Structure 1
Amino acid sequence: MDSFSKESRKVLNKNKDYALQTLDPDDDSLLILTPFKNNAKHLFRYFELLDALDYPRDKVSLAFLISDSTDQTQKMLIEAKKLYQEQSPEDMRFKRFDIYRQDFFYDLPREKRHWYEYQRDRRIVIARARNYLWTRALENEQWVLWIDGDLEYYQPSTVRDLMAYNKDVIVPNCVIHRRNDKGEMKVIVYDRNAWQETPKSLEMIKTLKEDDFLAEGNTNHVTHRKYLDNFAENETMVPLDGVGSTFTLVKSRVHRSGVGFPTWLFQHQVETEGFAKLAKANGYGVFGLPYYHKIHAKRLATLHSADI
């Protein structure tokens, strides 16, 4: 109980039956959270990247939520748990490896997942999944890392690098490499949910109706927001007002204080962007690293000249 205050120790000493159930904070411990839906084809790469992660295994806990999946995701995760936690040497095992199942019975064809008319309902379901996962899985870990299930690459040092900034919420710049029709490789910002409000965007927000929902790239409103590829090279760390979830590091105290992923409109946002807005409203700092291009999301096809 050394890390508890004197007052806390007095209370716990008087309530020993409850003290036994109170978890002391585990310094530098990390809880990695990923919600999965039909992710079987990406799981091998997911664990390949985790295996390369430069962080003590006994400090890392994993928790997954499987929802509305019809492929082999659940079976493969159960097999992965058996492999890591039972068959592997002890130094290869994670502190915890938890798998949860919660279906929301929401089905949307993949080709329609970015259509604006479906975005609000779709993102609300994702927010519900995230809230279910973190409220079930978070114990005494000090950091929470949200990772997308289909990332292609991140540096083994990424977690340590982000922790070094010691921010409440911080995201790197998630990019993709795409060839244009001339065969030239272009680096494109993938996660457009990471943005900073501008004077123009704040003026635009004043014109909205109370129930207007904003989704980047999927709305009839021009948001005038500043994305991570809009900052100068000397702006290595910038305050943000919205974040995505491709690779988002959060101090666990943010979640413990009640900041989750809104399933209702909060400042015209839901899910991850709503989370960032809610975190800031509660006094937490939200930051992005425009030139930390260490995360590469899933490959996409040819980039045409009209898209550049």
Structure 2
Amino acid sequence: MTEKVIMIGCPVRNRGWILPRYLQCLEEIDYPQDKIKFCFIVNDSIDETETILAEFSRRSPSPVQIITAPNSSKGGHRRGEYRLERLAQLRNMLLERFIQSECEYLLSVDSDILVPPEIIKKLQSRNCLIISALVCNGHHIDDMTIYNVMEKLPSGHYQHMKDFPRDDVFPTDVTGAAYLIHRSVAAEYKVYYSAGTFAEDIGFCEKARARGIPVFCDGTIECRHIMDEPGGL
């Protein structure tokens, strides 16, 4: 099978504390280096984020785009301080770079997620337009049953799915953090991020489902989520 060209990237802000580990995991992905392109949207960073990315760009055998987003004075970089509208804008900048490229897929991986080497091959083999790997989001509240999959209730609200298979692919209403997006999702179906009542990942998945695109998660793949910055509150 001929491997498809994949873009890997995310918005990045003040992630110097985790970027070396994050980038090392991306370098260790089991996929041909000439079929990978990286793209990072740097957002108001005041730490060594840009220096680390520049060094990564110099050593990487795969092309690396580092895009500096226009400055925004609102919203901190720590968890809970993000401005959702800003995150939607930044993620849409990444989608625009994706559809301007020749890449068939975008692997969107948040910059505090450490992925396993097999992530691309396993997700790609599922032949889904949108499919994520499992990411635990409950470390900061000591609830290790909270993952990056949610279901919509009759009330219109969302709740985290707790009962899902670990040995198969399963449908979900919302996912995020680490997922593979086929080019057609943005280029043909015009699915982009938005943030209103809910977070931008919810807006993205709602728009996809409204256009007839099902959202899946692969329960056989799990990433590590490093949620707490050393020395952070």
Asked which structure has the greater CA Rg, the reply is: 1
> In structure 2, how many angstroms separate the alpha carbons of the residues matched to 1:33 and 1:225?
27
The one-letter code matched in structure 2 to 1:252 is: R
Q: Equivalent residue for 1:134?
A: 95
Equivalent residues in 2 for 1:1-308 (5 A)? 28-84=4-60, 93-94=61-62, 96-109=63-76, 113-114=79-80, 122-138=83-99, 139-151=101-113, 153-175=114-136, 187-191=144-148, 194-197=149-152, 201-202=153-154, 204-205=155-156, 223=157, 225-227=159-161, 229-231=162-164, 236-244=168-176, 246-257=177-188, 258-263=190-195, 265=196, 268-289=197-218, 291-298=219-226
Deviations 1:174-231 (A, max 9, x none): 12696999xxxx844343xx2122xxx22x12xxxxxxxxxxxxxxxxx36351x323
Q: How many residues align?
A: 226
Deviations 1:18-47 (A, max 9, x none): xxxxxxxx9611011211000111111012
Q: Would the aligned equivalents of 2:147 and 2:160 in 1 still touch at CA under 8 Å?
A: no
> In structure 1, how many angstroms separate the alpha carbons of the residues matched to 2:166 and 2:59?
44
Higher helix share: 1
Q: Would the aligned equivalents of 1:68 and 1:105 in 2 still touch at CA under 8 Å?
A: yes
Q: Would the aligned equivalents of 1:63 and 1:97 in 2 still touch at CA under 8 Å?
A: yes
The one-letter code matched in structure 2 to 1:294 is: E
Q: What root-mean-square deviation, in Å, do the aligned CA atoms of Structure 1 and Structure 2 show?
A: 2.8
Deviations 1:123-165 (A, max 9, x none): 11100001112213431111111001112x3321111111111
> In structure 1, how many angstroms separate the alpha carbons of the residues matched to 2:140 and 2:193?
35
Match of 1:141, SS?
A: coil
Q: Would the aligned equivalents of 1:65 and 1:101 in 2 still touch at CA under 8 Å?
A: yes
Q: Would the aligned equivalents of 1:261 and 1:270 in 2 still touch at CA under 8 Å?
A: no
> In structure 1, how many angstroms separate the alpha carbons of the residues matched to 2:158 and 2:184?
32
The one-letter code matched in structure 2 to 1:230 is: D
Match of 1:69, SS?
A: coil
Q: Shift of the alpha carbon at 1:78? A: 1.4
Q: Would the aligned equivalents of 1:176 and 1:190 in 2 still touch at CA under 8 Å?
A: yes
Higher strand share: 2
- TM-score, structure 2 normalization: 0.85
> In structure 2, how many angstroms separate the alpha carbons of the residues matched to 1:275 and 1:176?
19
Identity %: 23
Q: Shift of the alpha carbon at 1:58? A: 0.4
Q: Equivalent residue for 1:8?
A: none
